[in-house]
Structure 1
Amino acid sequence: MVATNEFKVAAIQMNCELGDKQLNLDRAYGLISEAARQGAQLIVLPELFNTGYRVEEDDVSFAETIPGATTNWMETLCQEFNITLVGCILERINTQGLIYDTSVVTSPEGILGTYRKTHLWDQENTRFKKGESLPIFKLEWGNLGMQICYEVGFPESARVLALKGADIIVYPSAFGKERLYAWDIATRSRALENGCYVIAANRTGTEKNETAFGGHSRITSPQGEVLAEATKENEVIIADIDLDKISEQRRQIPYLRDYNSSLFANELKKIALLNS
């Protein structure tokens, strides 16, 4: 891939079959190949795309090490299509029984980094262990920050990533249809308030006859403009992005320049002491 400030990115919106890894990988492969044919260099998949979301009874058996089978598959696709790929899976570590909800970024060179979900939604608090860091990944075209699903509603995390230099923040998601009003506002707000691009790849479908996913995957500009939005079950959305627009927007509305980090650091320390 040639380094440039202008390139195409993609979000993949897909339905997943609970527990059927091969079917899900095959479906994802078709959508990834479509995105690559359209010129996308960075492609983002939904949360737990390889297993489905509501596999809580089988978290331990479905979880994989990193590197492992699914990340090896991701690397192979990156080499085949010359892309950078973000996917989110159940991660198993050496400590028996501990599972993370983990986002992985791969390229033709291999695994570039991982991010473990730090803010867990509802029953995820009994399924997963919380991550404890907000890393930035320096890629050849810019800096990538990763969050997962529910975390789109936590402006503090996105702000930290932006202050660390994130040009693009990605949100692999299994976001519920019932709360699409929050998704609509938050996906635009995280982009606007940080002057960065947001790629939010969401699920569709219903699992266990009770968990309905909202779709509406989006690619959002630093001005909070929705550049592309998905409307179908298994769909690829593509947008052209220009990293020069980031500095332009951050000069237009200098939220990051004017952010009073010492004030908030002190206030958060006070809150922590009150709650300890």
Structure 2
Amino acid sequence: MKAAAVQMRAALGDVESNLKSAEHLANQAFSAGAEIVILPEFFPSAMAFHPKMLYAARPLHGEPMELLKGLAKQNNGVAGGSFNAIRQGEVYNTFVLAFPDGSVFLHDKDQPTMWENCYYIGGTDDGVLDTPLGPVGVSLCWEFVRSRTARRLRNKVKLIVGGSCWWDLPKVALPGFSPAVGARLLEIMQQSPPKMARMVGAPVIHAAHAGDFKGKMPLMPGFPYESNLLGQAMITDAQGKILAKMDREEGYIMADIDLDEHAEPSEEIPQTFWIPDLPLQIRAVWAYQNRHGRRYYRTKTKKALGL
């Protein structure tokens, strides 16, 4: 089937504007012949540590899901993407895969990354969706760099869909962070979708965010986090060969993928928590921001949303 991955330059926290942009880009891809179009993680809002994000979540069956269902029905295709979704008194980063008959299939990202903890909690499903296309796996951003993601999808899915909102280091250097750390982050981002394809034995459709953003730094109120999102929308085959790729521009990429071709996994899954060797500085920020974010979510985000 002909697959497309969208790359957006979203306005941070501006849900109305981003939904219009996502709809426009997805319809462009469908008009060009795509049968399945995947939007990025957090397509209605992007992601950073910023007061606007307190109000970016939407009900699970609200506007973002209705947009995906409408795209699928109007184009007789499949549309997917993730957003901060409110249900049962909590917020999850929920990926929705919508089909033209109105059916939807869901995956909640298993664990928020760093300041994402401020705005949602992790889910518990295995990320294997029983769809009309057959079993489809979902991986969102740093799920691509965790070994447990590959283990739960390996030999179980015909396709992996998902996306990322992966931020770079700030323009004002953090103490102890050299340019080599930023270069390593980009390298990991570029390698992760092909690695997941090889470890699982399935094609990957990876949508992404690009563009600049201005946020803040948790527990550092005077530090402006001005940076950019790394982009790297990508479509690979089951052997990890890159079929289409975009760097940091806005638009979409498209490629033919074969869901009927069986591929044995060609790369072993490491026994470590992380698939790549993350720089020590990144692991340290991961630890402190996770702890801070969980407290912020309980005391500020839930209060702002009336949960």
Q: State the TM-score, normalized to the length of structure 2.
A: 0.74
Can you list the C-alpha shifts for 1:12-46, whole angstroms capped at 9, x where unaligned?
Answer: 01110122222212211221111112221111111
Q: Is the 8 A contact 1:14 1:235 kept in 2?
A: yes
**Paired residue for 1:103, among 73, 89, 95?**
95
1:93 pairs with 2:87: yes
Aligned residues with identical type, % of pairs: 27
Could you tell me which runs of 5 or more consecutive residues in structure 2 were left unpaired when the two chains were aligned.
169-181, 215-224, 271-307
Aligned to 1:242: 258
Q: Which amino acid aligns with 2:252?
A: V
Q: Which runs of 4+ in 1 moved over 3 A?
A: 253-256
SS of equivalent residue, structure 2 residue 197:
helix
Pairwise CA distance, 1:66 = 1.5
Pairwise CA distance, 1:59 = 4.0
SS of equivalent residue, structure 1 residue 205:
strand
1:218 pairs with 2:208: no
1:122 pairs with 2:114: yes
Can you list the C-alpha shifts for 1:249-275, whole angstroms capped at 9, x where unaligned?
Answer: 318x5969xx9xxxxxxxxxxxxxxxx
Pairwise CA distance, 1:108 = 1.6
Aligned to 1:195: 201
1:193 & 1:60 partners in 2: Cα distance?
Answer: 36
SS of equivalent residue, structure 1 residue 133:
coil
Larger helix share, 1 or 2: 1
1:206 & 1:67 partners in 2: Cα distance?
Answer: 30
SS of equivalent residue, structure 2 residue 210:
coil
Q: State the TM-score, normalized to the length of structure 1.
A: 0.82
Q: Which amino acid aligns with 2:195?
A: S
Aligned to 2:124: 132
Q: Is the 8 A contact 1:195 1:222 kept in 2?
A: yes
SS of equivalent residue, structure 1 residue 138:
strand
Q: Which amino acid aligns with 2:211?
A: G
Q: How much is the aligned-residue C-alpha RMSD, in angstroms?
A: 2.3
Q: Map 1:174-185 to 2 at 5 A.
A: 174-177=165-168, 178=182, 179-185=185-191
SS of equivalent residue, structure 2 residue 264:
helix
Can you list the C-alpha shifts for 1:202-251, whole angstroms capped at 9, x where unaligned?
Answer: 11011115231111110011111000001352111001011233x1x318
SS of equivalent residue, structure 1 residue 188:
helix
SS of equivalent residue, structure 1 residue 210:
strand
Closer/same/farther in 2, CA of residues 125 and 18 from structure 1, 3 Å limit = closer
Could you tell me which runs of 5 or more consecutive residues in structure 1 were left unpaired when the two chains were aligned.
1-6, 260-276
Q: Is the 8 A contact 1:56 1:127 kept in 2?
A: no
Q: Which amino acid aligns with 1:20?
A: D
1:176 & 1:60 partners in 2: Cα distance?
Answer: 19
Closer/same/farther in 2, CA of residues 128 and 37 from structure 1, 3 Å limit = same
Closer/same/farther in 2, CA of residues 244 and 75 from structure 1, 3 Å limit = closer
Aligned to 1:76: 70
Q: Is the 8 A contact 1:13 1:217 kept in 2?
A: yes
SS of equivalent residue, structure 2 residue 35:
strand
SS of equivalent residue, structure 2 residue 149:
helix
SS of equivalent residue, structure 2 residue 58:
coil
**Paired residue for 1:227, among 243, 265, 268?**
243
1:22 pairs with 2:16: yes
Aligned to 2:138: 146
Aligned to 2:192: 186
Which deviates more, 215-224 or 168-177? 168-177
Q: Is the 8 A contact 1:18 1:53 kept in 2?
A: yes
SS of equivalent residue, structure 2 residue 114:
coil
Q: Is the 8 A contact 2:14 2:45 kept in 1?
A: yes
Closer/same/farther in 2, CA of residues 54 and 67 from structure 1, 3 Å limit = same
